[in-house]
Structure 1
């Protein structure tokens, strides 16, 4: 009887191990096929059952001959077979995860390890070389990137610390017969240096793990990271900084391995760490001491060259010292990593302290790395931009190389409150780069290193930690880029996490699943970032801006430019020879407020009889200047009034009421996508009013239903004489239907139709907090979002994909009714409905930015949180539907209300670039999530105010909103947030007509002061 039962259990087991993976494959394949094709054929339920039956039969036949040890990855397909919602991303992730697990089970060819390593290096070079060439910036860039392009072309001197090595390499690139412009060739240098970084990462992980999957995971994670990809396709010095950090880390890993080997094998035979073996035949020599982690391989090392006669570990010290010498001469930030490297060397080999002879070669290599600095005094007397005679003096040379002009920015955020907020921002920087799963893999890898090979863990952990801490304290406008060298040790830890693949037999499925999850995560990371970089590859915003400005500037004009636009203007003039008659002058920040500096520069030049064009605008400080005329995105202070209509304008000849005569208009483009900006430039003259009296004018885009879907309101001071041009920027809000729109211009109670304009669906799907994938008869629902910003006025956004593109439907008052939608297996159903997500926020803004919280009302708990000696955190969260080309400032205000709950008793304001300046909007891509932290500080001391509603912060740069000493218990306090253009001060439009009908800002709700 027992034998019969045992045989029955065995047969049942064989049946289970056959059916479970087979049914998983069949049901998964049937469901994917049904959801893909069932909507094409009718009836859908019959089609879905047919597909599923066929795929299940095929799966049963395919899986039967194989044991569970070969088919267990198919079990993961149950995850989607039983998943309650149709979702292509989920089934793609499951399919990739399964495929990667199967791929790891395929034994690699019996090739020498050096062939596998070289194959991986070649594959890395080809893959990322092609990827970056496909997404490379096509030409001219703004700000520092533009400076590097024109400095390289003319062998000039860049801003401190000068970057001489980069300048020389970039100049060599400009001489290659590749591409159309020098700017493109300088961008190409970043492709090369970034690919070289990835090659070093691959080699380093390979040396630590001898695993192809581990090396590939690390390389893909770094190569597709947000900022690394951006830097790999644009002219910049950060990629070269990362290259020297990667080279030094590789050399130090090799130094560690050689040192360990020499201790285990003093006779000179090669010793391979046991944890790194991969099926290598080995024997243990009882006469040689060894640790549990290392085994001996009696293969001698050939030493024929002079360099080879240097002890192997010292050879790698020379390479590391050369890398750090070059790195420090390139950018001083690597000095802090160099300190960690020196500590690591002493920890690994303490005997080096007692043998000064071994210092000589590394010191000479480090000094050799400083030789590029000689470029600076050699170019001091040349007539190129940036060159100065001071560079040939010791004081001038030292000041430039050490960047002493920026010394006030070092250790800027040191106050505990500010540093704490800043360290939180550093976490946001990491999530901005990598997915959460990859960050978890990096932490696991570091923990494993500290457990198994703690000295390497010390090297990677301290390299990242020290560099991150120094960067957190440094006031840099683009911290996200400064962190680039710190990403290298992070991905090395990630690679170490995957080193066990193919080792432990008992835990192989779990380890393979972990590694497959990491590999799938990096593939998804690259796939999600690809659309943004492909879109940026097709844009040349800096050239369009600068070239249009130069082309339309009057003869002998003076263009006053901020740094962002000065460099591309200089490039076009000095490298391409455009408009030499125009003077481009950079307006640098000084002791006075920046707006006052601009106003003084404009007034002085205009008073000397020159036409002045300004790229920066401040309505307050410009109040006493003559009214400017819009020139593209800049501002033209004319000497002579405009007397004729511009040639590219369409004539109108109509009156707007009794005050305005409309002469003509210009639309910047014939069609506009939903959520994009259309620019209307209107030419007009006042009829009866005094020319100096401001006039209010508005423009609207009116749909076929008679509703306004875009609006721009201006208060314009007419030109003292001649024609006035006014520019209206109309951003179509989500919810606008595609079609033809009327453009109406109004003033006061009168309005008139000017022209019609075609609105098209969005070409890219909007970002959503609730992704779905359910088809209707003519469209597919891709996601939905709730907004509860206004009390008792919930708004629902439904995002649809149509045959022509993407549209958003807006529902108010809690209406959640939906048409019949497809569900699992592509079968239509009326059962599914959107869930009501109380407290969520989704306020669309111009340029594709979305505010997603947090309101101050979230703090309104019992007891109220705003009390003395207590600090409350008020963070503002944003995301975006597309990459951005402009710099926007987050303006957050804290207000104490009078007893009527309407008038302000006191207020405080914080304006800064998002994330305390660390992640400018210029660096955002589609899907980026950014947090700008603010602290509400209520102390017993009375805050000091610089100006109205602007308190003196407790530490420089602290995003602190101070509660006034006049606040009383029970007083209502509220918050508000807006964004505005950092260069033109133009507010970013809020694309919610319910909010704009009541406020010029996003209301953050209210809470109270604690008793």
Structure 2
């Protein structure tokens, strides 16, 4: 394999890795969503139709039958972008005749933010560049491949590019001129060689002069195959008329199968194929081009892509263009390349719409070639002015300096696109299309929002009966309602652009993520859906739950969709929230909290009397064990307590829900125990944790097959020397796990008070133990790990303000609680007046390891032994001194504030203290000098409340 082939393969693989690393994971919106589903359904999109992209994408989808359609279409862009890089390299290699310069050209272009961005989502631009680079390659290699097949291929590729984007018409003059000059060059070279042979007496073998008719034949082949490829545009009227005949024009438009720009008849086709609805500025704005070449093109558009060392790159690019004119080896290709670079620029400036830098990609590819020419010239200067060793060093230095630019741009792209893409659109429409919606209800939104809905309808077959209604103007909405049809505001702040006073003209019902629009004379309560479970629960006289609906069962790892019909009894502020909880034995398994008000409702509150619908997806965590659970509902205002029901309860039990087994859809993890259990996922939810503080370890297990027995999970905190600082053993009913069942498990870990600090100071070691205590063997994929696997733990931070200096309490004591903690003294007033709190201070000392966080109780007891006031809390100021953080020998100052009832009568009271394990015990036992239990509290003394 030659060097150029190796470089070409490396460029393709590097591009594919880079672009797929930042690939959009799923459904997008706007044009991207349109191009994610239109090839799948063979629809007709906006002008000029892009038929070749539709065909090739349809083939791609069929050839790659894995993954979501949206993801496959995004990947198609990445593959096209990656394939274009080696083609462009071979173009630059032949034009510049310098391998490092060609590589610089390609890397500059590959890292352009616009090119990289369009390589990560579905759109026509990277396929356009792939065909463009192929056309350039065929034009440049015409001198070596002067065959009929070569001319036909050149025409076919150029025609295919026209079928991808109509702006190819701007490139055809430059491509044809480039093809002709290279084709012509070989004829001149051959005639030159014949003359030389004649001078040397070799005239007997003269070849026939090159005939002009041969170019005519080749040009005719170009035209024929160009026309053949461009005939793909016949798809537009043929498919559009079929869709109109099958569904009707309006229905085809409302379901995203046909663009509303398409009109039957010759006039409609001319308007469509000339894109006259978009290109008016191309005719009207030519006078602005000279001024905008600097103010817009150079100062705004070019810095978007050449963002690193912009002016240096601009200087290098324009210097390279001059070199093409001045250097004999490049001069022949100057005019065609100049045309290819320059012609799209005035179009972009006059067009003034859409992704302007995307339309400039063909120009920027040539500009990158010009920049490569400058680097090649610098390499040549080094060779001619330095020694061989110096030239090599200088060449490497120049090459490295040029590479800094694509490197820094790539870093920007990785950071930008890694944060840009998400699953918001897919999640939104998955949720919306599960709302309780009437059959064939209209969904009003902007066209760019509806494309995502149409994808969900056609590809995932979710509510295909719902038509999209656009433009999102009030006259369109009024006309829809006048037909007696149901209408929802589906996305975007549609009504912001309507005339003020919308609520005075229509009934508006918040409907989950939507808003239902109805005639003003409609009964608002009659507009609510008929849900299966009537309710009449009133929360704090502020809101009434009218009815509810949810499935009786849900698969583990799936979403439980809960629909609720409400009516506000008073004005509900914007921060009024609901809380849905799936519970089992008072443990919350899943919870979703959000605002009650829809995002598209024009008021920032819900007025009294307002009915509304809540449609809430409650995500059941993967690995939730099958069984019976309860669905609970609470309502509250943010940062306040739940609003009580009429019986005083803070939550309403909506009913039982069965979580059912569902086999995991994902691949099992590579960390495995005995071929029976895999660890699919884990997290700590914290990155840093202090000495003595706790954190949850969440584990997601999978049964690869039914385990042979019930095993015990052993969790150990170990340091770098594998010393065990703390361990936990949790029995699990693993024998009941089904094959491919995921099981979620949470282990609450506590860092020892004297644990080592720093990054990776402690790790978490996991083992599964048989009933006899023997461990299961562990593997990481095929590699044995022994009998356990180790996870990097969070960073350990030292406890602040730890003190080993003995304090001086007002009253000294020596009370020993189970050799774990000692009360060494306290400050207690002898008396107090009428006050809202009683203040005292306890002084503790750690005596042994504390695995549990105990609460300190202080009780005020009357003469009859009744507790009349108390304070139970984690020790320390604001609870910042949990007992798990007490090192042996450490002293802890524990201020206590006991709230006093206002009706507390004067008299003598006792103060007692102790420690217990929340929420209900047990208490630590007080030991006497013999080490025997002597009670579970200590009386600090008497205190008098004065008159």
TM-score, normalization by structure 1? 0.47
Q: Which has the higher strand share?
A: 2
Q: Which has the higher contact order (CA 8 A, sep 6+)?
A: 1
Structure label with greater radius of gyration:
2
